[in-house]
């Protein structure tokens, strides 16, 4: 801001004294100006506002995010704003701070405010997926126990296992899971092979993969290569 004052505002011709610049006149008058009070008076706008259903507060036409846990326990917060900063207080505790936006109908959101909500949704999604897998294949609990004991990526394994279930159907998938549980195995690749084996035994049609999406993880279906030798 000071650069704009020095390079744009001050070099302008004075509106009355055309032979002088605004900066020249200001330098001359500076000594006669009153000093600013110390401390400076508070100029923040302070208001009680309601949090909306998506954990945002509104100022003018813009919306600013607040941490989801705050919105779950508190519907009214204190909004403190000036020309640069927007702050949100829960009682005397600051729970959010954003740069002031002077646009219209903007949504200003801090991703950190949604971390807990995203984790909750992922956990709920994984839980629903596990419930479905348990319902179709009771032996799935044995595979899940082995995955839990062997490290991270549990959610990714569950997601890929659900894709196998979708591809092969309940009966083939349940038989394949029971097969692995009986053999003491839990590898996803082995589960895919077992699904294909039980599909072939039941003379079921080859599963059709959904349209490829580069953002998805896809399970490669192993096929029996003996059919090619037979030709």
Question: Taking the domains of the chain in order of start, what are their residue ranges?
Answer: 2-28, 45-109, 115-230
DSSP annotation of 13 reads: B
Pairwise CA distance, residues 131 & 145, whole Å: 14
Question: Does residue 148 have a pLDDT over 60?
Answer: yes
Neighbours of 159 (CB within 10 A): 16
What's the CA dihedral at 151, 128, 199, 176 to 10 degrees?
Answer: 40
Question: Does residue 63 have a pLDDT over 90?
Answer: yes
CA-based nearest residue to 55, from 90, 104, 99: 90
Give whole-number Cα distances, 65 to 58, 60, 122, in Å. Answer: 9, 14, 21
* Higher local confidence (pLDDT), 145 or 152: 145
Per-residue pLDDT band at 48 (split at 50, 70, 90): very high
Which two tokens mark 171? Answer: 């009966």
SS (H, E, C) 126-170: HHHHHHHHHHHCCCHHHHHHHHHHCCCCHHHHHHHHHHHHHHHCH
Q: What is the pTM of this model?
A: 0.45
Question: Does residue 54 have a pLDDT over 60?
Answer: yes
Question: Does residue 173 have a pLDDT over 50?
Answer: yes
Give whole-number Cα distances, 41 to 33, 37, 164, in Å. Answer: 18, 8, 66
Per-residue pLDDT band at 119 (split at 50, 70, 90): low
Pairwise CA distance, residues 32 & 150, whole Å: 77
Q: Tell me how many degrees the CA angle 83-101-43 measures, rounded to the nearest 5.
A: 15
CB 223 within 8 A of CB 191: no
* Higher local confidence (pLDDT), 164 or 207: 164
């Amino acid at each position: 801001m000071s650069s704009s004052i020095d390079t744009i505002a001050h070099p302008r011709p004075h509106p009355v004294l055309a032979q002088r610049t605004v900066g020249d006149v200001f330098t001359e008058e500076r000594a006669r100006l009153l000093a600013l009070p110390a401390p400076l008076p508070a100029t923040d706008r302070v208001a009680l506002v309601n949090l909306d259903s998506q954990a945002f507060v509104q100022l003018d036409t813009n919306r600013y995010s607040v941490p989801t846990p705050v919105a779950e326990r508190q519907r009214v917060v204190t909004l403190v704003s000036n020309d640069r900063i927007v702050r949100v207080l829960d009682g005397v505790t600051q729970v959010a701070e954003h740069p002031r936006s002077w646009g219209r109908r903007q949504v200003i959101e801090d991703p950190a405010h949604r971390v807990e909500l995203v984790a909750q949704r992922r956990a709920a999604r994984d839980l629903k997926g596990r419930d479905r897998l348990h319902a179709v294949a009771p032996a799935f609990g044995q595979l899940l126990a082995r995955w839990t004991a062997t490290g991270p990526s549990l959610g990714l394994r569950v997601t890929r296992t659900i894709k196998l279930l979708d591809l092969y159907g309940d009966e083939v998938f349940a038989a394949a899971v029971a097969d692995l549980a009986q053999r003491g195995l839990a590898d996803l690749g082995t589960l895919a092979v077992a699904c294909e084996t039980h599909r072939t035994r039941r003379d079921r049609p080859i599963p059709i993969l959904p349209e490829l999406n580069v953002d998805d993880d896809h399970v490669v279906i192993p096929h029996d290569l003996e059919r090619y030798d037979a030709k």
